[in-house]
């Protein structure tokens, strides 16, 4: 029995601190227990009296200066009272480069390089909360080294449609996986004395019309699908700040939405931090401030004084339409955040951080190496056997493409990004000849030519014609090589903030290239590097070997090469469903996406695999899917008791046997189904726990998954309460949502 497994999944939460010391990346991580380990204390009230005193000395102008942007990424400080500017930076992929104070132009500095971390899809494909903690700590240290108080991350809106422009940046279609990763991320980030700004709150699930669309969904769907990770980030991880989204929800812009910002966020969840608007998401003064927005950023006005929370706010106070007490409330919250991150108060004790260090590149490598998903290996071409290998064709623009920058939105300026070709050159024996061909060009038509039912304003339309000369070079390289590896997929110009994709087709004519290379060399390995689902039907049908990687950070190429060469056994699992066709996905099957002025989430709670499983629609690759170079069998699935009360925690164990010849990690996934009917519509199955376990070749590990009975609750709209229905639940244990290998039934009193 692996002691480390016991440490994570069976020990009491109180013992967790000592377990944490021993962690290495080889260990086992379980969703529920690891998340419990990371429950944070939150902002202290220790400085409240001091804050009152400071505010009593401030002029109205000084107070108002703190509530709006005074450069692209700061507000205004009050020097004589020792209040610094709040320094913010994007974002999800690493600490963004510095830009000019008053424009989006790069500042041209030489000290703003950072580590590029795997984008959200890569992190979530690890299915490893420990990796999320590593991510949070590492990027937190970088934020501090760059002098930041708030990191505008993590971004984790639910992946509702596969074509969403920010799917690469967000984590998953599943609320449980989402919160299991977000809690350790936020806690570990904030332990570095930098605030998380969790975003985008909320229901910001599409880029099409994101600045105006009015999202409508029923309350149960909101609570069960779109809010759980936000709720956990506030109630468990105690995130210090929240970003108000661009869109409207039930008629009100999110930054003017008192239901979301006051009733839910503060009254129900006890949020004590600040709400920062997304950049230019504020549309009013009194309404936005009184609804709960604390800091207005990015508004597109001639000067910062023209922001809604600048001169117009001063005038509103003078005219008596906004009270000074209201202003004080927001100023005090901001000061509380500054004390919480030690930008005020115990400044000497503040974490100093470090940036672009070998340790951080190793963190990025560890995350990336657990994220690569093996989709197909039916001829065992992988791992590549280098013994006797004389030549390899490396084909495709993604063999040499870097992904730290691109498209609209935040990127990272990094000195260090290893491409797949760099890594293969360094790792293959020198006796192996590498025959490289780019294969296709990544070019776009001008934006104005993009059309999507006249609603998408900014579409990147790829040029899909292949260059015959490039194809001929690729075919020649494939023909003269023992094996061909194609690096295809997408890039960050094609998958980008501010526009959704028009369809799932592979851009730049790549399908033609895949077909031609496969015809030239039957030993072709197709590697996709992308952040969102694509149409892989033809590739799946005609190719034996398919690998999926992500915009995977500074060390993405090294991690991928190590998987291809067998140094790392792949253990990534898809964090969303790959549909056969777009119309199979719930937001499209119900014809609700992309909506118009209003977007009604007609599929309700049946998002992602919940829809596919409940409606019996077969996906191309299911949620949670991913193969390994070894095989696993599950046996003896059991629960510790037959019957449970609502406050109990159910302990499920299952023996996982590694039946192959390679050590490997398996993600044991637990899906719950209510048997024997329910008062409400239920999804066929819902993820309620998972554990990623390292199992040595030939050995068996007992894997534990803990399910607090409360996790089985549904949101009762009538009583406004989470309610656990009594009766029988079946727990399905699988290596994906569709590969169920064991079942356990439990009774809830
Ligand atoms: C994005 C945010 C980002 C902000 C500042 C907005 O366009 O939606 O995620 O933090 O810009 O760069």
Our answer on whether the CB atom of 410 is closer than 6 Å to any ligand 1 atom is: yes
Q: In this structure, which topology does domain 358-600 adopt according to CATH? A: Rossmann fold (3.40.50)
- Per-residue pLDDT reduced to its tens digit, 222-237: 999 999 999 999 999 9
* CATH 3.30.230.10 given to domain 48-347: no
Our answer on whether the CB atom of 91 is closer than 6 Å to any ligand 1 atom is: yes
* CATH 2.120.10.80 given to domain 8-36+631-748: no
Our answer on whether the CB atom of 244 is closer than 6 Å to any ligand 1 atom is: no
Q: What are the counts of helices (DSSP H) followed by strands (DSSP E) for the chain?
A: 22, 26
pLDDT level of residue 461 (50, 70, 90 thresholds): confident
Ligand 1 nearest atom to the CA of residue 152, by list position: 10
Distance CA(586)–CA(584), nearest Å, equals 6
SS3 label, residue 625: coil
- Ligand 1 centre to CA of 369 (Å) is 28
- In what order do the strands lie in the sheet containing 649-658? 632-639, 649-658, 700-708
Our answer on whether the CB atom of 254 is closer than 6 Å to any ligand 1 atom is: no
Our answer on whether the CB atom of 278 is closer than 6 Å to any ligand 1 atom is: yes
pLDDT of residue 467: 98
Return the percentage of the chain with pLDDT > 70, whole number: 93
- Per-residue pLDDT reduced to its tens digit, 650-664: 999 999 999 999 999
Tokens of 191: 């332990």
Residue nearest to atom 4 of ligand 1 (CA): 279
Ligand 1 nearest atom to the CA of residue 96, by list position: 12
Q: Best of 71, 169, 242, 279 to mutate for ligand 1, by most ligand atoms within 8 A of CB?
A: 279
pLDDT of residue 710: 97
Our answer on whether the CB atom of 392 is closer than 6 Å to any ligand 1 atom is: no
Cα diameter, the chain:
83
Residue nearest to atom 2 of ligand 1 (CA): 278
pTM here is 0.95
Ligand 1 nearest atom to the CA of residue 90, by list position: 10
Q: Across all residues in the chain, what is the average pLDDT?
A: 93
pLDDT of residue 236: 96
Average pLDDT, integer, range 226-254:
98
> Contact 332/45 with Cβ under 8 angstroms?
no
pLDDT of residue 213: 97
- Ligand 1 centre to CA of 288 (Å) is 18
- Per-residue pLDDT reduced to its tens digit, 306-365: 999 999 999 999 999 999 999 999 999 999 999 999 999 999 999 999 999 999 999 999
- In what order do the strands lie in the sheet containing 433-437? 373-377, 545-549, 524-529, 483-489, 391-395, 433-437
- Per-residue pLDDT reduced to its tens digit, 601-639: 999 999 999 999 999 999 999 999 999 999 999 999 999
Residue nearest to atom 11 of ligand 1 (CA): 279
Average pLDDT, integer, range 151-177:
98
- Ligand 1 centre to CA of 155 (Å) is 10
Enclosing H/E stretch for 469: helix 468-479
pLDDT of residue 34: 56
**3-state SS record for 393-449:** EEECHHHCCCCCCCCCCCCCCCCCCCCHHHHHHHHCCCCCEEEEECCCCCCECCHHH
Sequence-separated (6 or more) residues with CB below 8 Å from residue 720? none
> Contact 488/506 with Cβ under 8 angstroms?
yes
User: How far is residue 227 from each of residues 220, 236, 270, 688, measured CA to CA in Å?
Assistant: 10, 14, 15, 16
Q: Answer whether residue 471 shows pLDDT above 80.
A: yes
Our answer on whether the CB atom of 237 is closer than 6 Å to any ligand 1 atom is: no
pLDDT of residue 394: 99
What residue spans define the domains of the chain? 8-36+631-748, 48-347, 358-600
- Ligand 1 centre to CA of 409 (Å) is 7
- Per-residue pLDDT reduced to its tens digit, 552-584: 999 999 999 999 999 999 999 999 999 999 999
> Contact 210/248 with Cβ under 8 angstroms?
no
Residue nearest to atom 6 of ligand 1 (CA): 279
> Contact 221/601 with Cβ under 8 angstroms?
yes
pLDDT of residue 35: 58
Residues serving a catalytic function are 278
Our answer on whether the CB atom of 152 is closer than 6 Å to any ligand 1 atom is: yes
Q: Answer whether residue 586 shows pLDDT above 70.
A: yes
Ligand 1 nearest atom to the CA of residue 410, by list position: 12
Distance CA(306)–CA(323), nearest Å, equals 20
Our answer on whether the CB atom of 279 is closer than 6 Å to any ligand 1 atom is: yes
Our answer on whether the CB atom of 297 is closer than 6 Å to any ligand 1 atom is: no
Distance CA(350)–CA(76), nearest Å, equals 21
Our answer on whether the CB atom of 173 is closer than 6 Å to any ligand 1 atom is: no
Our answer on whether the CB atom of 90 is closer than 6 Å to any ligand 1 atom is: yes
- Ligand 1 centre to CA of 299 (Å) is 12
Q: Answer whether residue 455 shows pLDDT above 70.
A: no
- Ligand 1 centre to CA of 433 (Å) is 44
Average pLDDT, integer, range 450-477:
76
SS3 label, residue 133: helix
pLDDT of residue 410: 86
Q: How far apart are the first and last CA of the chain?
A: 32
Distance CA(683)–CA(680), nearest Å, equals 10
Least confident of 60-69, 362-371, 496-505: 496-505
- Ligand 1 centre to CA of 207 (Å) is 12
Residue 437's nearest CA partner among 392, 407, 406 is 392
- Ligand 1 centre to CA of 269 (Å) is 24
Least confident of 5-14, 163-172, 403-412, 630-639: 5-14
The vertex-291 CA angle with 290 and 297, nearest 5°, equals 90
Average pLDDT, integer, range 116-128:
98
Ligand 1 nearest atom to the CA of residue 408, by list position: 7
Our answer on whether the CB atom of 199 is closer than 6 Å to any ligand 1 atom is: yes
Average pLDDT, integer, range 78-88:
98
Average pLDDT, integer, range 99-115:
93
pLDDT level of residue 642 (50, 70, 90 thresholds): very high
- Ligand 1 centre to CA of 175 (Å) is 22
Ligand 1 nearest atom to the CA of residue 298, by list position: 5
pLDDT of residue 408: 86
> Contact 584/622 with Cβ under 8 angstroms?
no
pLDDT of residue 448: 58
């Amino acid at each position: 029995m692996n002691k480390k497994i016991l440490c994570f999944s069976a020990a009491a939460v109180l013992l967790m601190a000592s377990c944490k010391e021993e962690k290495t990346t080889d260990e086992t991580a379980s969703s529920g227990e690891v998340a419990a380990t990371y429950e944070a204390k939150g902002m202290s009230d220790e400085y409240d009296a001091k804050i009152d005193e400071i505010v009593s000395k401030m002029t109205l102008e000084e107070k108002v200066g703190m509530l709006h942007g005074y450069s692209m990424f700061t507000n205004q400080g009050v020097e004589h009272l020792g209040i610094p500017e709040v320094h913010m930076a994007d974002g999800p992929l690493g600490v963004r480069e510095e830009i000019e104070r008053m424009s989006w132009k790069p500042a041209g500095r030489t000290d703003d390089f950072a580590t590029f971390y795997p984008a959200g899809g890569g992190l979530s494909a690890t299915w490893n909360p420990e990796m999320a903690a590593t991510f949070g700590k590492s990027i937190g240290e970088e934020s501090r080294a760059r002098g930041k108080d708030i990191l505008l991350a993590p971004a984790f809106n639910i992946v509702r449609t596969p074509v969403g422009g920010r799917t690469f940046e967000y984590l998953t279609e599943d609320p449980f996986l989402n919160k299991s990763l977000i809690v350790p991320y936020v806690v570990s980030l904030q332990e570095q004395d930098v605030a998380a700004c969790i975003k985008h709150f909320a229901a910001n699930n599409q880029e099409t019309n994101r600045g105006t669309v009015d999202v409508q969904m029923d309350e149960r769907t909101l609570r069960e699908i779109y809010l759980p990770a936000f709720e956990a980030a506030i109630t468990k991880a105690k995130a210090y700040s929240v970003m108000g989204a661009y869109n409207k929800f039930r008629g009100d812009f999110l930054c003017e939405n008192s239901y979301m910002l006051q009733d839910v966020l503060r009254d129900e969840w006890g949020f004590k931090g600040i709400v920062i608007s997304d950049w230019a998401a504020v549309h009013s003064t009194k309404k936005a401030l009184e609804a709960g927005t604390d800091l207005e950023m990015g508004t597109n006005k001639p000067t910062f004084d023209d922001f809604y929370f600048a001169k117009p706010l001063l005038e509103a106070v003078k005219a008596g339409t906004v009270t000074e007490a209201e202003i004080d409330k927001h100023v005090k919250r901001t000061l509380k955040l500054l004390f919480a991150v030690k930008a005020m108060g115990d400044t000497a004790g503040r974490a100093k951080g470090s940036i672009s260090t070998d340790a951080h590149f190793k963190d990025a490598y560890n995350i990336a190496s657990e994220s690569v998903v093996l989709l197909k290996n039916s001829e065992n071409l992988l791992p590549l056997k280098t013994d006797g290998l004389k030549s390899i064709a490396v084909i495709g623009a993604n063999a040499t493409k870097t992904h730290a920058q691109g498209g609209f939105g935040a990127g990272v300026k990094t000195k260090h990004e290893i491409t797949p070709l760099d890594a293969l050159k360094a790792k293959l024996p020198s006796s192996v000849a590498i025959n490289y061909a780019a294969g296709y060009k990544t070019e776009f038509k001008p934006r104005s030519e993009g059309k999507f039912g006249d609603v998408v304003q900014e579409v990147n339309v790829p040029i899909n014609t292949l260059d015959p000369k490039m194809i001929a070079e690729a075919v020649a390289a494939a023909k003269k090589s023992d094996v061909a590896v194609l690096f295809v997929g997408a890039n960050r110009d094609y998958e980008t903030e501010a526009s959704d994709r028009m369809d799932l087709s592979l851009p730049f004519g790549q399908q033609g290239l895949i077909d031609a290379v496969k015809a030239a060399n039957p030993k072709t390995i197709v590697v996709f590097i992308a952040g969102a689902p694509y149409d892989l039907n033809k590739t799946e049908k005609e190719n034996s070997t398919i690998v999926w990687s992500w915009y995977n950070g500074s060390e993405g190429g090294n991690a991928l090469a190590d998987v291809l060469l067998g140094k790392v056994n792949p253990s990534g699992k898809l964090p969303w469903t790959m549909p056969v066709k777009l119309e199979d996905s719930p937001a499209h099957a119900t014809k609700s996406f992309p909506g118009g002025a209003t977007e009604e989430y007609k599929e309700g709670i049946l998002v992602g695999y919940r829809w596919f499983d409940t409606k019996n629609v077969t996906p191309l690759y299911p949620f949670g899917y991913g193969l390994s170079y070894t095989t696993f069998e599950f046996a003896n699935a059991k629960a510790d008791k037959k019957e449970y009360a609502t406050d109990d925690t159910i302990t499920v164990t299952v023996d996982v046997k590694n039946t192959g010849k390679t050590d490997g990690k398996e993600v044991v996934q637990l899906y719950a189904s209510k048997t024997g009917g329910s008062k409400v519509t239920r999804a066929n199955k819902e993820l309620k726990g998972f554990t990623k376990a390292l199992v040595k070749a030939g050995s068996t590990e007992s894997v534990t998954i803990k399910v607090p009975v409360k996790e089985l609750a549904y949101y009762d709209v009538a009583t406004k309460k989470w309610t656990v229905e009594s009766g029988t639940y079946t727990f399905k244990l699988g290596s994906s949502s569709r590969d169920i290998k064991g079942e356990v039934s439990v009774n809830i009193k």
